[in-house]
Structure 1
Amino acid sequence: MPNRRSVLTMLGGAAGAVLLPNLAGAAGTLEPLKDIAARKGMRFGCAVGWHGGSSFAESDYGRLVARECGVIVSENGTKWPALQPQPGPHRFGAADEMVAWAKRSGMLVRGHNLIWQSRRWPPDWVNQYDFGASPAQAAERLMTEHIKAVCTHFGREMFSYDVVNEAVDPKTGELIGNVLSQKMGVIEQIDLAFVLARQYAPGAQLVYNDYMGPGAGSAKHRAGVLALLSALRARGTPVDALGLQSHIGDMLPHTATAAGSEWRKFLDQVTDMGFDLLITEFDVNDRKLPADISARDAGVAAIARDYLDLTLSYPRCRDFLLWGMADHVSWLQHWPDAVRTDGLPQRPTPYDSELRAKPLRDTIVQALKFMPPRANSAQGQLYRPADR
């Protein structure tokens, strides 16, 4: 994590020009991030907001994504409410268009997500469902029908799934219940999701995905995630990896060093249990950084540099995805908790809204170049999950 001296230096008005290179110019003159990552055995990509049709693929932004990324994941289009907003057959049309574009562009696709644990995010009809006289069996049937439908439809087109998303309450560290877990128990419901995913997607990487972070305010969240992973491991639940959402930012200089120590301890504990790691949703919230663009971009790059240097030092981290490649598509522009007090747009991604590369991109390049090689990365071969 950034120490006090490095962050304060990077936030100086001239820091961006002196300490970070000027990346102005066409993205086409830069080596693609996916190629830099692949030489170390890592997959690189980002989330896309696919809404159907070819407008995304044919846009300048779509071409940038295809050039830079070897992996994509849908922001919302493969979640349960999008695929089955009403009872009955799943609606795969828009997701199929996205997958077809990815294949034409030589990209892999991750699935996000089979179960979003929050009470808010099952489809409305599931929340209102009459589970009848045998509620546990009815809940199991709904989960089976959904996970089977998704996994069998996409088959090997999805090499990895966020099977369960955000199951730990960040304030308490306790597991989050929902309408399904009320019928069968929380740990039982989470276990079932992974068992079904392994059954119907036997070759896919199965991931538990959450947004716990390095800071002191995330201590209970980290502890809860460790407890969940430990419980799943004890049950023999087929979980392959932990997804680190990595929506970083808000890291004040006087807490950054301690946060780094706690983050390393957390990652050590996860990998010691035998889990792989993924960075699944990376961006940098800049709401506490100065308004000046050069200083703000320098601060974003400084925070990212130390987070990535630490996290990518783990060879079990083989996937690195951003939650958007350019500022204008970032969810942080619309999330109420990310609004800057000065009203300025966020600058959380490697490219600005005009698709010009920023210092954050160079930070990512350097982190990829200097991280240790991943397993099976000899001669630039890209790691893929073994068939199971």
Structure 2
Amino acid sequence: MKINPPIDRRTLLGGSLFAAGSALLPPVALAQNGSDGLNAIARARNLRFGSAFAWSPPGADAGSLGNPEYAALVKRDCGVLVPENELKWQRTRPSAATFDFARMDAMMAQAKAAGMPVRGHTLLWHYTRWFPEWLKSHDFGSKPAAEAERLLDQHIRTVAGRYGPAIYSYDVVNEAVDPDTGGLRETVLSTAMGGAEPVLDHAFATARSAAPWAELVYNDYMSWEAGNEKHRSGVLRLLEGFRKRGTPVDTLGVQSHIGLFAPTKSVAAVVAELTPAWRAFLNEVTGMGYRLSITEFDVRDRGLPADIALRDQGVADFAGAYLDLMLSYPQLTDVLVWGMSDKYSWLRGFEPRPDGQITRGCPYDTDFKAKPLRAAIAKSLAGAPIRQPAPERAA
């Protein structure tokens, strides 16, 4: 197995921020942002605010800490970071026998320099569409289950061993539920191991062994809008199964790519319609003993008018109501947006507006100016009930 040379663990893990056994919520003083930054507001409630970030060469026009303008937003408002793409198998595992951590190593070094812990996204994206090509055609040999387990073990232990407690939380499994059926997605790994459940259970068990200090998260995009009923039911069945089988899962990661998809005269009316079913879902999740995390928040604005003032207010109102509901649960301690600026939002490419206007689902616009959405986030964080500090987990 070929892996690019490791970075100096003393450099990466140095200091109390990344010490083994450190609390899931590190001290407020370690977040380098102003008193009115979003993370500072969150920390007053024992919450934490953060964002996805990307890799780029220094000075590039990108949503990365290599971009000084973008880095200024992140350092002002964030207390935790998550790699947008650079820890996924497509980027770190170019073949079954090789790993490439060059970009992720650079991002970890940037995060440490900024005084911010990191979430790991993701150890297993159990969705064939996003598997690397080599995995789709991999020869699992005469003992396919053993080979699948070997690949999973090797990957999870390699990542966890490289970064240690510098990554305090992992999306161990991402998007394993088919939203159209509510069943589990089938992949070459599930075929090799005789079903999806053995794959997911093995991933979590390996992650607990390899990273005993870390929060272990199942992450998915079931949402509160109409049409997500089968997806939510499937996630509940999966979470129930984890508990029955003793699978070590701590938290449900609620991606929270929320959206208004059809024209509406009243955001408040939409919120009132969506709230009961969504609260019932969250009640079931927390009733099973799971924590909650908002892992990838942004707002899809396809159903709002092109007029920027009207659209921004609609986005802010919708987001504020959603965050108020989510933050009413004391089991929720992390709120991460999927990017700070519309300039680099994934929505521009994956879900463009029909009218061709730039989507406005991030806290800052393309000129890095704060929008009503940022104010709505700040208000929801400031109004949240104070949490108990998260428990420490020994390494």
TM-score normalised by structure 2 residue count? 0.87
Matches for 1:179-190 after TM superposition, within 5 Å: 179-184=188-193, 185-190=195-200
User: Runs of 5+ in structure 1 lacking a partner?
Assistant: 1-27, 377-382
Matches for 1:1-388 after TM superposition, within 5 Å: 31-53=36-58, 55=60, 56-57=64-65, 58-184=67-193, 185-250=195-260, 252=264, 253=266, 255-335=270-350, 338-376=351-389, 383=390, 385-387=392-394
Deviation, structure 1 residue 92: 1.1
User: Runs of 5+ in structure 2 lacking a partner?
Assistant: 1-32
Cα distance in structure 1, aligned partners of 2:252 and 2:197? 16
Cα distance in structure 2, aligned partners of 1:100 and 1:189? 32
SS in structure 1 of the partner of residue 369 of structure 2: coil
One-letter identity of the residue aligned with 1:330: S
Instruction: Tell me if the contact between 2:34 and 2:76 (Cα under 8 Å) persists in the aligned partners.
Output: no
Cα distance in structure 1, aligned partners of 2:198 and 2:392? 26
Deviation, structure 1 residue 339: 2.0
Instruction: Tell me if the contact between 1:114 and 1:162 (Cα under 8 Å) persists in the aligned partners.
Output: yes
The Cα RMSD (Å) is: 1.5
Aligned residue-pair number: 353
Cα distance in structure 1, aligned partners of 2:332 and 2:123? 22
Cα distance in structure 2, aligned partners of 1:145 and 1:195? 13
Cα distance in structure 1, aligned partners of 2:57 and 2:369? 26
Cα distance in structure 2, aligned partners of 1:386 and 1:367? 28
Cα distance in structure 2, aligned partners of 1:174 and 1:97? 38
One-letter identity of the residue aligned with 2:385: P
Task: Go from structure 1 to structure 2 and tell me whether the alpha carbon gap of 1:280 and 1:371 turns closer, same or farther (over 3 Å shift).
Answer: same
Higher RCO (CA 8 Å, separation ≥ 6 residues): 1
Cα distance in structure 2, aligned partners of 1:38 and 1:350? 18
Cα distance in structure 2, aligned partners of 1:205 and 1:359? 32
Instruction: Tell me if the contact between 1:52 and 1:94 (Cα under 8 Å) persists in the aligned partners.
Output: no
Cα distance in structure 1, aligned partners of 2:59 and 2:201? 38
Task: Go from structure 1 to structure 2 and tell me whether the alpha carbon gap of 1:186 and 1:67 turns closer, same or farther (over 3 Å shift).
Answer: same
Task: Go from structure 1 to structure 2 and tell me whether the alpha carbon gap of 1:235 and 1:54 turns closer, same or farther (over 3 Å shift).
Answer: farther
One-letter identity of the residue aligned with 1:71: V
Identity %: 48
Instruction: Tell me if the contact between 2:212 and 2:393 (Cα under 8 Å) persists in the aligned partners.
Output: no
